[in-house]
Amino acid sequence: MIMSNLQSLKFFLPELTLTIGILLVILCDISLKSLRNRLNPVLTVFTLVLAAYYTFQLQDATAASLFHGMLAIDSFAQFFKLFLLLAAVLVVLASLHSAELAPFHQGEFFALLLAVTLGMVLLANSTNLAMLYLSLELVSLTSYIMVGYLKTDRLSNEASLKYILFGAISTGSMLYGLSLIYGMTGSLNLYSIRDAFLSQGVEGVDQFTVLLILVLTMAGFGFKTAAVPFHFWCPDVYAGAPTPVTAFLSVAPKAAGFAVLLRFFFSGMSQNSGGQWAIVGGINWPIVLIGISVLTMTLGNVAALTQNNLKRMLAYSSIAHAGYILMGAVVLTGDGVKSMLIYLFVYLFMNLGAFLVVTIIYDSDKTFEIDDYNGMFKRSPFVAVAMAIFMLSLIGIPPFSGFMGKLYIFGSVIDKGLYWFAAIGALNAAVAAFYYMRVLKAMLIEDGKGITAPLQVSFFNQALLVALLLPNILLIVFWNPIDRWTAASVQLFGGV
């Protein structure tokens, strides 16, 4: 069903809430000088929770096309909306006590965070090339500013400069690819594009043109998901950005990037026959995707081995995780997509948790070097054990939830008979275990030489750590709802 503008409004409530929230935060920031520092975070969290509440309300809405085919509302979009709002709430809470952001004015930070969330939510839903490009740029532009938020800090500025130059080139190339699609099919709507492509049959579309479009548009999607060969910005940007922003970038825009990648290729350029997708152009897609995925995870893991800066190490590790997630796309079925959603969901808690520990330790010690983490167990057993659990979860060791992510991803590949591909993935996970274990060794086994005073952790941060730990430990016990929820979330709206 294609809805007109007025009909669509009631399905657009989460996004409207976010828009009003952005305006309120800005207004509050300029008008209430005495209250703003306390009111802004509350207002931000309230906006995000209200948007999530409205998303819940719409959970059972039938799949439809909003605003004359600009956006889609379907279970896939609902999953990503909830996911992105949850990530934003957790990052707002983690940034409240950050010593890096404290010297700077916070009002804009929250407004920007809401804006980037709005952009990502729209990105995950957009079914029109113009909408897709605009929301991608909304996400990018606001995250450039957030990365450079520490404006007196050389590293933060350099990170944002690299980010914007690389990002502008990537999205520019993608735009050129999108303009070629418009020329070939005569439409900006993903469903009309698919119909125009398929009118010549799956194999009938010129292979060279499809390859050209693929390379150009993948520049944009690869940039957002930090997949090889568009990952060059990732380590520098992650290392230079304020840590809460790094945590946010490593999870939320990555997830939104995967969402738009899946929607673009599966509803715009492929034919679904009996649960198996066939993408236009007669190119051997699994091989292309396997190539990108293997390169991404191998490069990420191997580069992470030699890092001494924990933030840089986690940056490379997040590249590697993008590689694992991409494994789910290789099989081109609903099961594969489901395993990607599961992986993203468990990755949210373990990665944000690891970055929260980095933030806490930086706030007291002003260091990101792994060697300075020596003897952390004596200084704060709770933080050290929490970090240990996040690291084990990132490796994928049972009973932590990271294991379930890897289980489903590898399972979907093995179901397809790609044993050697699963073996490469498992080998990579083993390599990754080495550098995660290094952090564990530093924190739990080594003796600290320098500071021995107990680590100061505010009660709020302790509570937040517990909140991030619980999903890592307990999800595996209460697995059925997650399994059902993600299985129901692979439905992409097919148009008309």
Partner 1 sequence: MITLQHYLLLSAALFSLGIFGVLTRKNAVNVLMGIELILNSANINLIAFSRYSSHGLDGQMFAVFVIVVAAAEVAVALAIVLTMYRLLKTVSLDQADTLRR
In terms of DSSP bridges, do strands 276-279 and 270-273 run parallel, antiparallel, or are they unpaired?
Answer: antiparallel
Residues constituting the chain = 496
Binding of partner 1 by 157 (CB under 8 A): yes
How many C-beta neighbours within 10 Å does residue 325 have? 27
Alpha carbon of residue 420 to chain centroid: 27
| Cβ distance to partner 1 smaller for residue 169 or 470 | 169
Which residue from 36, 81, 162, 231 is in contact with partner 1, where contact means CB under 8 A?
162
Which residue from 120, 178, 354, 476 is in contact with partner 1, where contact means CB under 8 A?
178
Q: Which two tokens stand for residue 167?
A: 């990002």
| Cβ distance to partner 1 smaller for residue 235 or 334 | 235
| In the complex, minimum distance from the CB of residue 107 to partner 1, in angstroms, rounded to a whole number | 17
Which residue from 13, 39, 96, 168 is in contact with partner 1, where contact means CB under 8 A?
168
| In the complex, minimum distance from the CB of residue 185 to partner 1, in angstroms, rounded to a whole number | 9
Binding of partner 1 by 495 (CB under 8 A): no
Binding of partner 1 by 70 (CB under 8 A): no
Q: Are 181 and 138 in contact (CB under 8 A)?
A: no
Binding residues for partner 1 restricted to 242-281, rule: CB under 8 A: none
Q: Are 45 and 104 in contact (CB under 8 A)?
A: no
| In the complex, minimum distance from the CB of residue 397 to partner 1, in angstroms, rounded to a whole number | 32
Q: Rg of the chain over CA atoms, in angstroms?
A: 22
Q: How far apart are CA 180 and CA 162, in angstroms?
A: 27
With tokens 């409205």, the residue in question is 54
Which residue from 87, 159, 409, 465 is in contact with partner 1, where contact means CB under 8 A?
159
Binding of partner 1 by 335 (CB under 8 A): no
| Cβ distance to partner 1 smaller for residue 69 or 334 | 69
| Cβ distance to partner 1 smaller for residue 165 or 305 | 165
Q: Are 143 and 88 in contact (CB under 8 A)?
A: no
Binding residues for partner 1 restricted to 105-144, rule: CB under 8 A: 129-130, 133-134, 137, 141, 144
| In the complex, minimum distance from the CB of residue 187 to partner 1, in angstroms, rounded to a whole number | 7
Which residue from 103, 154, 208, 273 is in contact with partner 1, where contact means CB under 8 A?
154
Binding of partner 1 by 208 (CB under 8 A): no
| Cβ distance to partner 1 smaller for residue 7 or 308 | 308
Q: How far apart are CA 81 and CA 121, in angstroms?
A: 6
| In the complex, minimum distance from the CB of residue 186 to partner 1, in angstroms, rounded to a whole number | 4
Give how many residues touch partner 1 by CB under 8 A.
39
Give every CB contact of residue 218 below 8 A, 6+ residues apart in sequence.
230
Q: Are 107 and 26 in contact (CB under 8 A)?
A: yes
Which residue from 27, 39, 49, 179 is in contact with partner 1, where contact means CB under 8 A?
179
Q: Are 458 and 97 in contact (CB under 8 A)?
A: yes
| Cβ distance to partner 1 smaller for residue 57 or 308 | 308
| In the complex, minimum distance from the CB of residue 368 to partner 1, in angstroms, rounded to a whole number | 12
Binding of partner 1 by 176 (CB under 8 A): yes
What letters, b where the CB count within 10 A reaches 16 and e where it falls short, cover 149-178?
bbeebeebbbbbbbbbebbeebbebbbebb
Give alpha helix (H) positions in 204-242.
Answer: 207-225, 233-240
| In the complex, minimum distance from the CB of residue 14 to partner 1, in angstroms, rounded to a whole number | 23
Q: Are 65 and 127 in contact (CB under 8 A)?
A: yes
Q: How far apart are CA 42 and CA 61, in angstroms?
A: 30
Residue 88 has φ and ψ, to the nearest 5°, of -65, -40
Interface positions with partner 1 (CB under 8 A): 129-130, 133-134, 137, 141, 144-145, 148, 151-152, 154-155, 157-162, 164-165, 168-169, 172-173, 175-176, 178-180, 182-183, 186-188, 235-236, 239-240
